[in-house]
């Protein structure tokens, strides 16, 4: 029998691979169409979707399934938006509701993914002792990183439009709305991250941190477990000494 957690992971892994396959099909169509700008765009996105798998293999770790799913989904939304002109409503071919929905969701998911990765990285570095940050600072770093990447994305769209004649940037209102959605996504992930850090007891390596420890501090887990075992032994030794002292005192009092 599969547990609910296993079923969720299996379903999301399946969806992630379906999205990758769709992007491969889109890439093949773009190659035959001779649209090499979109070919480069889709190729880069497709390569990035395999980054979590490459990290897993290179560092013998197993990143949380949510990393692969969020990365793949956000890149798929971008590829579909670019390849099927869902970011541009000037031609009237795309229904306004779909155009509006796609642009906003793509920005939200992309920024949420960046914020999630920023949180995992900074919390891992904090947990292994390479940096020291308070919980609010971890949240602030997560939020500002997400907002900064969102702003850089708008700048990239500007230069892309200038160099290749695309219309991905939109007007000032569209840009501000994109940044608002970037801010909301970054804030939500930052709040989640602060609550996640606050509830950790320190007894075990947190689930979202554990896979990254092998990337940023390969020897940390062994030392951490050894320290925990030592503390447990010291605690047991003190408990036994206290018990022995108590029994000795009772015996003395009885006599």
Alpha carbons 194 and 118: distance in angstroms, whole number? 13
pLDDT-derived band at 196 (thresholds 50, 70, 90) equals very high
Return the minimum-mean-pLDDT range out of 56-70, 72-86, 201-215. 201-215
Higher-confidence residue of 30 and 7: namely 30
Burial label for 21, CB within 10 Å (0-12, 13-18, 19+), is: exposed
Count the alpha carbons within 13 Å of 221 in the hemisphere toward its beta carbon: 14
Return the minimum-mean-pLDDT range out of 79-93, 182-196, 232-246. 232-246
Please give the pLDDT value at position 206: 86
Residue 60: CB atoms within 10 A of its CB come to: 9
Length of the chain: 255
Task: Say what the pTM is.
Answer: 0.82
Q: Is the pLDDT of residue 99 over 90?
A: no
Q: Which of 162, 198, 202, 156 is nearest to 178 (CA)?
A: 156
Read off the pLDDT of each residue in 184-195 and give the average, rounded to a whole number: 96
Alpha carbons 196 and 184: distance in angstroms, whole number? 18
pLDDT-derived band at 248 (thresholds 50, 70, 90) equals low
pLDDT-above-90 percentage for the chain: 43
| Alpha-carbon torsion (11, 16, 19, 25), positive or negative | negative
């Amino acid at each position: 029998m599969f547990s609910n957690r296993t079923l969720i992971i299996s379903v999301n892994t399946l969806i992630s691979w379906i999205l990758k396959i769709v992007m491969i099909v889109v890439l093949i169509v773009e190659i035959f169409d001779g649209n090499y700008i979109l070919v480069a765009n889709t190729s880069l996105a497709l390569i990035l979707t395999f980054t979590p798998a490459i990290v897993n293999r290179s560092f013998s770790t197993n990143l949380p399934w949510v990393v692969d799913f969020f990365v793949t989904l956000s890149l798929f939304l971008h590829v579909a938006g670019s390849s099927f002109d869902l970011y541009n409503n000037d031609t009237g071919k795309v229904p306004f509701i779909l155009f509006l929905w796609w642009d906003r969701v793509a920005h939200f998911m992309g920024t949420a993914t960046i914020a999630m990765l920023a949180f995992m990285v900074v919390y891992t570095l904090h947990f292994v002792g390479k940096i020291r940050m308070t919980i609010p600072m971890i949240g602030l770093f997560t939020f500002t990183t997400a907002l900064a990447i969102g702003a850089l994305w708008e700048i990239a769209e500007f230069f892309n439009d200038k160099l290749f004649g695309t219309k991905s940037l939109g007007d000032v209102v569209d840009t501000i709305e994109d940044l608002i959605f970037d801010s909301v996504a970054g804030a939500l992930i930052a709040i989640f991250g602060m609550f996640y850090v606050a509830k950790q007891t320190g007894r075990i390596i947190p689930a979202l941190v554990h896979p990254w420890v092998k990337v940023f501090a390969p020897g940390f887990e062994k030392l951490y477990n050894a320290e925990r075992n030592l503390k447990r032994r010291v605690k047991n030794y003190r408990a036994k000494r206290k018990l022995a002292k108590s029994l000795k005192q009772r015996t003395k009092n009885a006599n």
